Amino acid sequence: MTATTFFDLLERLTSLMRIWNRQHPLLAELQPIQVSALIYLSRCNRYSNTPLAVTEYLGLTKGTVSQSLKALEAKGLIEKSQDQRDRRSVHLELTALARELLASVAPPQFLSAALEQMGERAQDLEALFGDLLRQIQRSEDVPGFGLCRTCRFHQQRDGAPFCGLTQEPLRQPDVELICREYQVA
């Protein structure tokens, strides 16, 4: 496949996501960036739920993300909490209302249905997309964000997941989350 064809496919899929966002009745009150921030916060780990990490992940300006986070807080969808060790640092948590909202809208139904129809080929597609992302992360200077279980620092200690970078134990569900400190294995 040529890069142009692949780029066209990605663009089309992205615009379908935007349409989904705009037309979904439960998302009518939220701007696409606010939905993206909520989805990211539902998928990231405890090292990655800061305003700066949201800004880096979305690739937008600090001001734009800051306004969106304020709007989400005002709507009762996120809450701030102070870091236990560094009191200057703030973490963002989804509220129960936000978790309920995301559970009923994400992933988009049209995407789930299409992947189901693809059967086993959907697994291949996931692996190939993962390879593509890692290839880009290896060769370009882009923020690291990636899945914990595929990170080069990911270890097992005493039968439980462990982060070799922070030297802290991880909970089992953490291994399926996105981390800002991720590095390609």
Candidate ranges 22-30, 54-62, 79-87, 163-171; the one touching ligand SF4 (CB under 6 A):
163-171
The dihedrals phi and psi of 49, each to the nearest 5 degrees, come to: -105, 45
Q: What's the min distance (Å) between Cβ of 163 and ligand SF4? A: 3
Q: What's the min distance (Å) between Cβ of 29 and ligand SF4? A: 33
Sites for ligand SF4 among residues 63-102 (CB under 6 A): none
Candidate ranges 82-90, 98-106, 122-130, 149-157; the one touching ligand SF4 (CB under 6 A):
149-157
53 binds ligand SF4 (CB under 6 A): no
81, 73, 74, 37: which is closest to 57 by C-alpha?
A: 37
User: Cβ atoms within 10 A of the Cβ of 13, count?
Assistant: 10
The answer to whether the CB of 115 falls within 8 A of the CB of 91 is no
Residue 104, burial from CB neighbour count under 10 angstroms (0-12, 13-18, 19+): exposed
Residues forming beta bridges with residue 79, ordered by sequence position: 93
Considering CB under 6 A, how many residues would be counted as binding ligand SF4? 12
CA distance 172 to 162: 9
Residues forming beta bridges with residue 111, ordered by sequence position: none
CB-nearer residue toward ligand SF4: 121 or 152: 152
How distant is the alpha carbon of residue 61 from its chain centre?
A: 17
163 binds ligand SF4 (CB under 6 A): yes
Q: Which of 17, 39, 165, 184 binds ligand SF4 (CB under 6 A)?
A: 165
Q: What's the min distance (Å) between Cβ of 89 and ligand SF4? A: 16
For binding to ligand SF4 (CB under 6 A), which residues are involved?
45, 47, 148, 151, 153-154, 163, 165-166, 179, 181-182
